[in-house]
Amino acid sequence: MNVTAITLHQNFINMSTTLTGNITWFPACNTYDVPENGGVCVKYKHKQIALFNFTRRGEWYASQNMCPHRMQMALSRGMIGSLEGEPKVACPFHKKNFSLVDGHCMSGDDYKIKTYPVKIEDNLVYIGVSEEDNETYETVCA
């Protein structure tokens, strides 16, 4: 399994967040930093966020990186696909499938992951976090 490591330029890391309603958008990385039909891990404060470039669908998704089944930071390395037309990620260790739309477990188990909105502006990927997630942050992709 390949793990994508991303090095960000200092001027990109120092970019500020933008507040829209109750959502704060922070710059996660450049679009070209995320492999097609794959994912990377973005660190926001003390949280790991899995960011996915779902090229086949022309869509971007973000979720917590921790698989709630065994509490492992692994979802950014999971396989993305669709189940009955709904985008999903499968944990690379346990094969639990999670919806990238609302986070519910599509494998029939009582697990759920947090999902985050994503927007693209000028080839920059922004992830939206709520007030509870927002304080100071550090952005590092790995």
pLDDT confidence of residue 94: 86
Q: What is the pTM of this model?
A: 0.81
pLDDT confidence of residue 70: 84
The chain-wide mean pLDDT, for the chain, equals 84
Structure token pair of residue 9: 């330029």
Dist CA 29 CA 91 (whole Å): 23
Residue type, 60: W
pLDDT tens, residue by residue, 74-85? 999 999 999 999
pLDDT tens, residue by residue, 42-89? 999 889 999 999 999 999 999 999 999 889 899 999 999 999 999 999
For the 10-141 domain, the top CATH level (class) is mainly beta
